[in-house]
Amino acid sequence: MNVKSSVRNIISEISSVMEEIDENTIEEVISEILKANKIFIVGAGRSGLVGKAFAMRLMQIGFKVYVVGETITPSMEEGDLLIAISNSGETKSVCLASQIAMTIKGNLIGITSNKNSRLAKKSTKSIIIDAKHRTDPARFVQKGFHNEVPSFAPLGTLFEVSTFLFFEGLIGSLMERTNRKEEDLKKMHSVLE
């Protein structure tokens, strides 16, 4: 399979994943973000990198946002929000941070592909990015891709890319609801790089 075919398959699968996310839950997540005193982001590995990218955009819009594990991250308090990202929903560090958030009486948004995971069950709201088994050949036949081979997207790639795009969509909606324009974001962009 060539690179362009692989990318086309990945894009097709991501579109399918996005369509399955519940609109009402998205609205509830936006509401949680808008009312939070402080926002904390936690994720491990590539999910953590996606979370950091989202945190950067939230900061540029004007939210008080922190990445769990950074040295300048303050303590979480009641009324704060933790956004926890884990494909499996079982990542130990993410589940531990989620448990602590709930003990503090903070709110918890879980981003996972596993609706039956510890993370999903603990969360105030869960966004299910259903990217599991997306490369199963039987699924491609069911969707009418009879002559195509599933895209080569190893491990959690579909979850991570889908989550990144979901967050980018959230940013667009949050910009609109907070009356922020691209110029406002540019003012908050790092000048020390």
Active site residues: 160
Using alpha carbons, list the distances in angstroms from residue 193 to 48, 164, 190.
Answer: 21, 23, 6
Task: Return the structure tokens found at 157.
Answer: 């790639």
CA-angle at 144, arms to 24 and 21, nearest 5°: 10
Residue 74, number of CB atoms within 10 A of its CB = 10
Tokens 């709930």, located at residue? 102
